[in-house]
Each structure stands twice: as C-alpha cells, then as structure tokens.
Amino acid sequence: MARIALGGFHHETNTFATSTATYDDFVASDAWPGLCSGDDVFKLTHGINLAVSGFGDVAKKMGHELVGLVWCAAPPSGLVTNDAFEAIMELMLASIKDAENIDAVFMDLHGAMVSENFSDGDGEILNRIRTAVGPDVPIVVALDFHANISAKMCSMVDGLVVYRTYPHVDMKQTGERAANILNQIIIDTKKRHVELVSAPFLVPLTWQATTSEPAKGIYARLREFETDGVDAVSLAMGFPPADVFDCGPAAVASGSDIEMVKKAANGVMRLLVGCEKDFAGTLYSPDEALLRAKEIMAQGKLSGPVILADTQDNPGGGGDGDTTGLLKAMIKAGIDNSVIGIFAEPIAVQTATGVGTGNSFEMDFGARKRIYGDTPLHATFKVLALGSGSFMAEGPFYAGAKIDLGPMALLETGGVKIVVSSKKQQAADRAMFGHLGIDVNKCAILGLKSSVHFRADFEKIASDILIVEAPGVNTADPRKLNYRNIRPNVKRFPAS
Ligand SMILES: [Zn+2]
C-alpha cells in the first residue's frame, strides 16, 4: 500500500483567442466542479467522466491511501493569467507540503495550457511538482486527447497516458489505466523512460474524431504496441489553435525497457503518418451549409435533424459561444423547426427573465467580442421558456456531471429557436436542449456550437452532419493561422 497524492489543473488554451482564463474561472463550476481541494477532490468528482475520478476509484480498490491535493478546470479560452497560474500552483504546492510522506503522485492535466508567462504551462506545473516531491517519487500524468505534448512534460514524469477517444468518452477509463500503471511502478520500482515523437503535420480538430476513419482505426491498434517493458503508449492529436513550439500530434510511450519504449513510440507515429492523406473532409460556409441541408431534406423523409456544427465558435476550442454567422444564415434560409444553441448571452437571459415567458424584447444579440466577420443580430426576440440552467447531463461525454450554466432562456426570432445560457459551454449534451423543452429528435435543422464532442450524444439522432465555417476564434483550417512559435517544418494541414 502506498500513500498517493492526486490533483489536477486543466486548461486548453487557444493562443489566437483574446479572452483570458482568470482565477475566478477556475473557481467557478460549470459542467464540471469548481476548484476543490482535500477530500472534496474525491467527493465532487466522484462518478464523473474525469481521469481523477477513475484513478481514485481504482487506486482505492487496490488498497492505496489517497490524499486529495487541488483539482480545477476552466473553460477553454485565450491565455491563463499569470495571477491564476501562480495562485493555483501555490495552493497545489502547499497541499503537497501539507500531505507529507507522499509515495507517489497522480496528476490530471490537459496538456495544452499556455499561461501569460509559460508557453508550456503543463511542463511548468509538472516541473514544480517534481521539484517539490524530489527525483525518486513516481509521477504519472493523464492528458487530454488534445494535449500539445512537450519534452519537458515527458522528462518530469514516470508514466503518461492520453485519452483514446474524441468525443472523450474515456476520460474516467484513462484515469483507471493511469492507476494500474502507477501501481506497477510502485511494485517493481524499476526506473522508467518516457519517449516522445512529434508529428510532422497538424490535424484540424474536425477531422480528429475517433468515431470515424482514419482516427478510429489508428486508435484501435494502439494496444498492439504495449508489449513487455512498455507500460503505456499514447497518441495525442494536439490542439491546433495554439501557437506553441510543441503544437500538433505526438506519440508517447513509457516503460522500463528503453529500447522497446522507443520502438513503440516510433511505431505509433509511423501509423499516424501512414494515414496522413485520409485526414480530410468538407468545410461549408453558413449559406452553403443551409443550401446543402435543403438538398438533403428534399431527398425524402428524414429520421432526425440535419446537424450544422458551428465549429469555429465552439466554446470547447476557446470560442465565446456568441457569434451570429450561422444563426443569421438559418434565419435567412427560413426552414421550419430550426434550433441553434448554446449561445452564451447573459444579458439576453436577464432581459428575457425580466419580461417573462410569452413576451418579447428587442436587442443587439451576440457578437460581444466583435471578432473578425461577426456583428450582433439586431432583432425582436420572443421568450418561449426560462430555466434555472441546473440539470444532470444525460450523454456519455458529460456523464455523471451536474451541469450549472446559470439562468437559461429559449428565445425565438425570425422563425429560429435559440437556446441561451448565462455561462459558455459546448453544446455536447441533449439535456442542454431538453432543459428548455426542446426535443432535438424533432428538429429539422439543429445548429450546435461544438466541433466533435456533440457526436457522443447527437450523432445517433442526426440525419446528416455538416461542418460549418462561420465566424469564431476556433479556426477550423490551421493554414489560416499565423504561427510564429511552432517548431520549424511542421505542415499546417495533412497532405492529401
Ligand atoms: Zn480535448
């Protein structure tokens, strides 16, 4: 039995977004709990699809003594402020000091954090934890599928595991794998090696989904590389809208046999590179998407909505969740039973609450950040329903989570129904619509501010899915981004 400390500090940073992640953003709860420490780390994350909860369950069953450090997450955005980074690390390191006599550490991180002072935020977190616990205490880290993994991160840990699904339905499972790996390290006490191999090209978020090829086939084969002396192999697809040296996909293997570990990491990278030309698809302008949707609808009776993924304003990629490009195109198209969500528009929710259900108000809606190509929608909005914004998630991505989006409203303008919340959140769970009485199965057109995570709960009901390039900071095509810091010779797009 060992005394294992566990914590987490999650942020996915879009360096091309101007918003920041402040200390308050990490303290606030949303789909996941707000900043917690000590025993609350277990209590508040228990049963949720998170690596920290999976790790805790398995390590406890193994008979280990667990010490909660600090766990927190803020919605994806631009840089993490220096104040937030330092305040949270101070809490984290104080909790390690208070814990005393720690035998091992598990960290639940994202892997694509950039703070105002550190371009490799996660590398710096692990560096400080390594310094605090010393060279002999094993550290295992779980990272998001979108981690931009650095050599510094790898050099600080004894084991590294990455989610294997996008939508991330295996976050909890990844924590369980991490617990088994750390347990093995504690038992055999052999020195571990972690090998990193970075990819020569970026893969746009929308083509990374593991529900379709080529990613589906690649991830199905990862286990083949976990042979004797190799604890874990991982493939992170990277988070493209991040202008950092280590941006992009990376294969990582860890274990006690250096030669086998190197062979495994290189083997996984060869697998990815061999599929380069298969990472491809169509991006539609908003008007083109609506035209295509009409063509699909004209082909016959559909079993469910045509889903339009408003990927560039996806809050899960650092978007603000309030750009109006797709909404305006939906109004112009005039298709009955069109619904879009979720807009983060607290002023609209407040006004709607003030006038009450059944009444109307006029306002400049959305586009608060005035990003390139985006303008507010000036219109009259009818209030169809109001909600508390507090409800249980139903789909597999937010599984087990008690979602808190602040007061919500269902508005209607120009024949389009709009789901509006007070806090920004990716539209990746049908309960977000059901909360305001919308049955998404019955929609003709459903606009979702999400890139891929929506597929976990919506793909099964969709007649078709079209990816839309409307205004937003989560740029779908990395060739349109002006990188300055990425390592040289990385192709911005897979070669076809
Ligand atoms: Zn991710």
At 281-316, the pLDDT tens digits run 999 999 999 999 999 999 987 889 999 999 999 999
The CA distance from 82 to 116, in Å, is: 5
- Residue 75, φ and ψ in degrees, nearest 5: -60, 145
- The answer on pLDDT for 360 being more than 80 is yes
Tens of pLDDT, residue by residue over 54-86, are: 999 999 999 999 999 999 999 999 999 999 999
Q: What is the mean pLDDT of residues 251-255?
A: 98
- The answer on pLDDT for 365 being more than 90 is yes
* CATH classification number, 3-278, choose in 3.40.50.2300, 3.30.420.40, 3.20.20.80, 3.40.50.150: 3.40.50.2300
Residues 11, 244: contact at Cβ < 8 Å?
A: no
- The answer on pLDDT for 252 being more than 80 is yes
The CA 168 to ligand 1 mean position distance, Å, reads 7
* pLDDT score at 86: 98
Tens of pLDDT, residue by residue over 103-150, are: 999 999 999 999 999 999 999 999 999 999 999 999 999 999 999 999
The CA 363 to ligand 1 mean position distance, Å, reads 34
The CA 2 to ligand 1 mean position distance, Å, reads 31
* pLDDT score at 302: 83
Domain ranges in the chain? 3-278, 286-468
CB 460: neighbour CB atoms within 10 A? 9
* Percent of the chain clearing pLDDT 90 (strictly above): 97
* pLDDT score at 496: 78
* pLDDT score at 368: 94
The CA 280 to ligand 1 mean position distance, Å, reads 19
- The answer on pLDDT for 46 being more than 80 is yes
Peptide bond into 102 cis (omega under 30): no
The CA 452 to ligand 1 mean position distance, Å, reads 10
* pLDDT score at 31: 86
The CA 51 to ligand 1 mean position distance, Å, reads 12
The CA distances from residue 300 to 284, 296, 330, 334, in Å, are 22, 8, 20, 18
The CA 360 to ligand 1 mean position distance, Å, reads 38
The CA 142 to ligand 1 mean position distance, Å, reads 12
The CA 441 to ligand 1 mean position distance, Å, reads 26
* pLDDT score at 436: 98
Q: What is the pTM of this model?
A: 0.95
The CA distance from 276 to 265, in Å, is: 17
The CA 145 to ligand 1 mean position distance, Å, reads 5
Residues 429, 459: contact at Cβ < 8 Å?
A: no
The CA 355 to ligand 1 mean position distance, Å, reads 38
Q: How confident is the model at residue 259 (pLDDT cuts 50, 70, 90)?
A: very high
- The answer on pLDDT for 211 being more than 80 is yes
Average pLDDT along the chain: 97
The CA 310 to ligand 1 mean position distance, Å, reads 17
The CA 156 to ligand 1 mean position distance, Å, reads 22
* pLDDT score at 303: 86
The CA 146 to ligand 1 mean position distance, Å, reads 5
The CA 351 to ligand 1 mean position distance, Å, reads 34
* pLDDT score at 301: 75
- The answer on pLDDT for 277 being more than 80 is yes
259 CB-contact burial (10 Å; exposed 0-12 / middle 13-18 / buried 19+): exposed
The CA 34 to ligand 1 mean position distance, Å, reads 18
The CA 144 to ligand 1 mean position distance, Å, reads 5
